[in-house]
Structure 1
Amino acid sequence: MEFLKNIFEDLSSYDENTLLENVLKNYSGYVAFSNGFNPEGQVILHMLSKLPDFEKIHIFTIDTGRLFEETHRLIEETEKFFNIKIRKYFPDCRELEEFITKEGVNCFYKSRELRNECCRIRKVEPMKRAVKGKSIWISGLRKQQSSFRKNLEMVSIDDKNHVVKINPLINWSREEVWEYIKKNNIPYNDLHNKAYLSIGCACCTRAVQAGESERDGRWWWEKDSKKECGLHYQI
C-alpha cells in the first residue's frame, strides 16, 4: 500500500497535459489501460500510442458476452488502426452459467439487485483479473458524464482493486472528446451516429432522447439509479 501511496503522490503533481507522459516514463511496466470503446477510450489510446514504451502497457477490454455487433467491429478496426492486439477478458463461465440457469438470461430487467449481480459477474470480476498485478489503471471517466462522476479526481487510489486510478480526460467536455476524434480520424462506434452517447451491453443500452444526459441510455428502466455497473463505484 505504501508503494501505491508513493505513486499517487508522484502522479498527483502533474497536470492533464503531462500526466500520461510521466506515467509511461516512470511506470510503464506497471500500467493497465481499460478501453470500453467509447470515445474517451479511443482518445486515450491514441494519446498513449504517441508515447515511448506504449508497447509495455497492458491494454485490455472486458467482453461481457452481450456487446453490440458494432462494438465487436470497432475492436477489430481499432486493432488494425493502431497495429496492436487488445487483450479480451470474459466472465467466469461457470459462475455465469450458474447465474443464468438460476435467474434467467435477461433477469437484470427484474430487479436492481439482479442487474447489479449480472454486472458484477460480467464486468467487475473480469476487471479485477485484468488489473491484478498492476499498480496503475488508466480509465476514461469524465466529470460531465453524470452527476455521480462530477466529484471525481484525475488521480486517486482504488482500494477495491489495489491500484492508483488515473482519469486523464476528467475535465474534458464531450465536445472536446469528439473534436479530438474527428481531428485525428480515430475509429469510433457507428452507434454514436444514432444517438447512442454511452455504449455498454446491447441489452442494457438505448439511444438517448433530446435533453437526456449521456448516461440516461444505460439501464433506462431503473428509476433514480446511479447508472453505474460497479466498475468505478460501489452499487
Structure 2
Amino acid sequence: MINALPSVGTDPVVGLKALCDQHPGKVVFTTSMGLEDQALTDLIARNALPVRVVTLDTGRLFQETYDLMDRTRAMYPELEFETYFPAAESLEAFVNSQGMSSIFKSVEARKTCCGIRKIDPLHRALEGAEVWVTGLRSAQSDNRAGLTRLERDAMSGKLKYNPLLDWTDGDLDTYVNSHSVPTNPLHRKGYPSIGCAPCTRAVMDGEHPRAGRWWWEQSTKECGLHKG
C-alpha cells in the first residue's frame, strides 16, 4: 500500500475516488463539524463517494455544534452519518473518581477525559476500516505542518488521508461560501477551532487559531486523535 501513495495526487476528489476503489467499503471519514470537515462532507456528498461519515459525540459539545449536526444531516440526506459515544461505564468511573472539573487541574486528567470521550470511540469507529480520512490542514498548527497527504497513522495503523492538507484559509472559505456549505455560527464569533464546550474559548486578534483549545494549558494543543 505504501508504494501506491503517489497515485493519490493532489486533487481531493481524485484521491478519495482512488482510495475508495483500492479499499472498497473500508474508507471512513471522521468529522468534528469544523470548516474543513464540512467542506469534505460536501465533497463526499457532491461526488457520491462511498465513504462512511462518522462523528464523535463527546457529550460536552456546544449546542451550536449539535444544531449544525442536524442541519448537515438535513442538507445531505444521501449520507448515512454514524455517531459514536463514550462508553458509559468508563465515563462514570472517571467522573466518580476524579470529578467533572479535574480536567482543569491536571493535564493527565484532561488527557484521560479526551481518551474516554474521543479516542476510545474513534477506535471503535475505525474498526474494520483501512483508510481514515481527516480534514487536517498544515496551516492549522505547527504540529500539523509536518503531516503528509497520505501516511500511516501511528496510533491506529490505518492509512490516513488528509486531502485538504495544502488548502489555505482562503481556499477553504472560497469553497464553503461558493457551495453554501452549512457552518458553525461560532466560527463567526472568534472560534476558529471548536471542540468540547468546557475546553474551548474564543481567540483574540493575533492569537493562534488553536489557542482557544485547552486554553489553560501551555502544551501542544492536541487531544490525542491526531499525533502526526
Q: TM-score, normalized by length of structure 1?
A: 0.92
Task: Give the corresponding residue for 2:197.
Answer: 202
Question: Percentage identity across aligned positions?
Answer: 38
- The more displaced of 66-75 and 9-18 is 9-18
CA deviation after TM superposition for structure 1 residue 57, in Å: 2.0
Residue number in structure 2 paired with 1:69: 63
Q: State the 1:28 CA deviation.
A: 3.4
- Superposed displacement of residue 158, structure 1: 1.3
The 5 Å alignment of 1:1-235 reads 6=1, 8-17=2-11, 18-52=14-48, 54=49, 56-83=50-77, 84-223=79-218, 225-233=219-227
CA offsets, 1:63-118, max 9 Å, x none? 00000000000001000101133111011100110000010012100011111111
Query: Stretches of 4+ moved more than 6 A in 1?
Result: none
1:60 is aligned with what amino acid? V
Over aligned residues, Cα RMSD in angstroms? 1.3
**Aligned partners of 2:222, 2:187: CA distance in 1, in Å?**
20
Moved more, 79-88 or 141-150: 79-88
1:10 Cα shift? 1.7
Q: List per-residue Cα deviations over 1:188-208 (Å, max 9, x = no partner).
A: 001011010000000000111
User: How many Å apart are 1:162 and its aligned residue?
Assistant: 2.3
Name the TM-score, length of structure 2 as normaliser. Answer: 0.95
Kept after mapping to 2: 8 A contact 1:196/1:208: yes
SS at match of 1:149: helix
Return the alpha-carbon distance in structure 2 between the equivalents of residues 131 and 42 of structure 1. Answer: 20
2:52/2:80 contact within 8 Å kept: no
- Segments of 5+ residues of structure 2 without an aligned counterpart are none
8 Å CA contact 1:11, 1:19 repeated in 2: no
Cα deviation code 1:169-224 (max 9, x no counterpart)? 0011122111110000000001011010000000000111010111111001102x
Contact 1:199 1:205 in 2 (8 A): yes
In structure 2, C-alpha distance between the alignment counterparts of 1:181 and 1:28, rounded to whole Å: 28
Give the match's secondary structure for 2:142. Answer: coil
Partner of 2:194: helix, strand, or coil? coil
Q: Secondary structure in 2 aligned to 1:117?
A: helix
Contact kept in structure 1, 2:8 and 2:19, CA below 8 Å = no
